[in-house]
Amino acid sequence: MDVLKLKKANCKNCYKCIRNCPVKAIEVKNHQAQIIDSECILCGNCILVCPQNAKEVRNDVGKVKNLIRSGKKVIASVAPSFISIYNVASFGAFKECLKQLGFADAFETAEGAFVVKTEYEKIVAEHTQDTIISSCCPTIVDLIQKHYPHNIKYLAPVLSPMQAHAKIIKERETDAKVVFIGPCISKKGECEKYPGWADTDLTFDELNGWMEERRIEINFKEPEEEPKYLSRFFPVAGGIIKTMNTDTDYSYVSIDGVENAINALNEIETGKLHQCFVEISACKGSCINGPA
């Protein structure tokens, strides 16, 4: 099933989605906006600008409920940006709510992000790549693969934090199913494109709806002693670089927003950039401003 769907009756031919699509992945046929899947990078711009609410993200709550009902051990991997969305002071309070929904356990994706930043540091230290583009944002990975294929060689050959964390969880719990929870629409596409890591994805919007249905509220509680992941900075602009050892002979650049990313990729494609680590996020401000 497509990640983005259209409510046909709602499209009013205003063309806002077409004007705001950074990769021109929307066309109008028979007075109906249609997404061109082969071009779409799942940035979510069309959803945010549509005045008729004609576009919707596939809801996977039912899929997760079925996994839980099946008796499988379902474990949540929660994006670090949860702390900017929910009124909690610690991850423990958030985990309690997820357990009420039926999750066997929950852990922070920051654990996987730490592995990812360590791999980035290795690539820099070993000089195995001249220019390095971070591989954390699936929208940026899609943007490069679909629209800037000459830059694929610059993508760091490293799992995303979601994939790395799912790998860690499944090594600890071999029979577990992993559900990633975060603010990103394109993670749904990543789950399907790279099976074997996270089994499915829920956005914070989907989680909010599910919690409202079950009348579960998150209660603010004082922070408890928890792992101090520096990689919790990943969801803010420049956050990946902030976690890394930058005392190297490489330069480090942080870019956020699809338009800025496109400008940067055009520059990188010229081959004039050398010994540079480039952190790119599709959302302005990075993941804390994700579309979901």
pTM for this prediction = 0.92
Burial of residue 158 (number of CB atoms within 10 Å: 0-12, 13-18, 19+): buried
Q: What are phi and psi of 35, to 5 degrees?
A: -85, 135
User: Which one of 28-32, 217-221, 247-251 scores highest in mean pLDDT?
Assistant: 247-251
Q: What are phi and psi of 254, to 5 degrees?
A: -115, 130
* 245-252: average pLDDT: 96
User: Of 207, 223, 227, which Cα lies nearest the Cα of 111?
Assistant: 227
Taking 60 as the threshold, does the pLDDT of residue 1 lie above it? Answer: no
Q: What is the pLDDT of residue 226?
A: 65
Two tokens, residue 166: 């799912």
User: Of 187, 175, 4, which Cα lies nearest the Cα of 81?
Assistant: 187
* Average pLDDT for the chain: 92
**How do strand 55-57 and strand 4-6 relate by DSSP bridges?**
antiparallel
Q: What is the pLDDT of residue 248?
A: 96
Task: Name residue, tokens 């082969």.
Answer: 38
Contact 126, 199 (CB under 8 A): no
Ramachandran class of 244: left when φ > 0, alpha when ψ lies in -120 to 50, beta otherwise? beta
Looking at this protein, which amino acid is placed at residue 59? N
* 168-196: average pLDDT: 95
